[in-house]
A and B are shown apart, each in its own frame.
Chain A
Amino acid sequence: MSIRLVLIAFALWLGGCVTATVEQVRQTQTLLGDGDSIVVIGRRNRPNQEEAELDFIDCVSRKMSTGVDRVSMISEQEFRDAVFPWFEPRTAPLNTTDLPALLQEPVLAKRMDEMGLKYLVWLEGSTRRTSQGGSLSCTVTPAGGGCFGFLSWENDSSYEASIWDTHTAKTAGRISSDAAGTSYMPALVVPIPLIARVQSSACSSLAEQLRLFIQPDSAES
């Protein structure tokens, strides 16, 4: 019994540990005025392994729009529908240099103005399982059942956000967020999953950094 407790305590101590790193490069000053809003959208122009998950984009957007220093956010789907067909995978601008030509379309420029869109955040990246190990077996008999073993796996999240200023048609900066963590599942009769919330950690740190990047004054105050 005491060995089981020690093992569970050890697993709890190990589980849930996530290391997150955030880096940013600023290219221009940023300022968010009254009525200005931001959209976070994923790059989908070609099939690749760095296409950000929809729930991750939603998570970043949701976290930026809540809290004390919340900013006005437009959801990705709402934005894509509102500016259709200009930000579809085949038609979306690849670089800020494509923006001025795109904004020559009067109806698009008017729509973006109506939405109060100031910053467009392109998001790329993904969360992947980088390694796994251990074994776990479960048995069911008429007398009962149980599992025995130990599993572990490591997840790695790596995302990069590129912030475009739609008013100046320039890249305002880039933020990268990396997180890694190991999850464990010890099993002594009952499996106990100890999940490291890697993607959630990457989402929180990226959302917080984006908010600070766009509203640097809020950090000072």
Chain B
Amino acid sequence: MNIFTLRRNRGVSKIPTARSKMMAALTTSGAILLLIGCAGGTTQLDIEGDFPVPIMVKLPVALGIHLDTTLTTFTHAETFENSREWVVSIGPAQERLFSQLALGLFSEHTLTDSVYATPPYDGVLKPAIAEVQFSLPEQTRSDYYEVWIRYEFDLYDRSGRLIGNWQLPAYGKANQKNYSGTSKGLQAAAMAACRDAMAFFSINFSREPVVMNWLNSGMPDVQAPDSIDKTDASNTATSSDGRPV
């Protein structure tokens, strides 16, 4: 009897072996897991893909960008009615996003560990995600997966004092006709929201009142609280009508 015959005979054997029992158990547990997965569970999504560098006239600003762990590990979880839980990891993409953004926007930039800028940097920008929402086509009765992200930006001077802050709402959508499945649709919508944030930031950064004033006044440091007190005291003292200024 050659090897082929042996194998063939083993294949048609009706006697349950330890291996076939193990396979049956694995198949059964796999089917149970699949059923559990269909009924609920969690799906983790990451934002994949590269971000483009904005083509802009670079601002003559050397800026540090502080991405803290709250931002870089940011995830948003949402459970929809009669559906599973969707967890979208937005944080890990933020370093790529802000690096590309800064590359096109500022004459010089670096990623910093704190809000204190070391020379030659003029200040530090600290982005944060304040809120995320997303919706599925069946919820809105439309063709679109939609994602909203609300960013908050703090701008610090060289000494780490807050100059001011502003918010940036971003929106992204993905047509369900273009993506097979909720995971891909939500990923595409989240990616579109990130691109929208980049686009809006690129065009409006220098128009933000906080930034505009800072740039127009030569990017000065914010006065320390004790020096502000001294100025106020001096103003009060020189007021002609004796009232505090």
Contacts and interface: CB of A to CB of B under 8 A. Distances in A.
Given A49-B143, A90-B196, A84 B53 contact: yes
A91 B202 CA distance: 11
B197 to A, nearest CB: 10
Contact of B55 (A51, A89, A90, A108): A108
B143 A81 contact: no
Interface residues of A, number: 24
A83 interface: yes
Contacts of B144: 47
B57 A81 contact: no
> How big is chain B's contact interface, by range?
20 to 34
Interface in B201-215: 202-203
B173 to A, nearest CB: 6
A74 to B, nearest CB: 14
A15 B37 CA distance: 40
Nearest to A91: B199
Given A89-B196, A90-B199, A51 B175 contact: yes
B52 A107 contact: no
Nearest to B146: A47
Contacts of B54: 84-85
Contact of A84 (B55, B142, B177): B55
Interface string B95-126: 00000000000000000000000000000000
Interface string B164-192: 00000001010101100000000000001
A53 interface: yes
B53 A53 contact: no
A159 B153 CA distance: 41
Given A83-B55, A89-B192, A47 B198 contact: no
Contacts of B55: 82-84, 86, 107-108, 111
- Which residue of A44, A90, A126 has the most chain B CB atoms within 10 A of its CB atom? A90
Interface string A82-105: 111110111100000000000001
Nearest to B175: A51
Interface of A: 44, 47, 49, 51, 53-55, 80-86, 88-91, 105-108, 111, 126
Given A44-B173, A85-B54, A85-B195, 8 more contacts: A51-B143, A80-B52, A88-B195, A90-B196, A90-B199, A91-B199, A91-B200, A126-B177
5 contacts: A47-B173, A54-B175, A84-B52, A84-B54, A84-B198
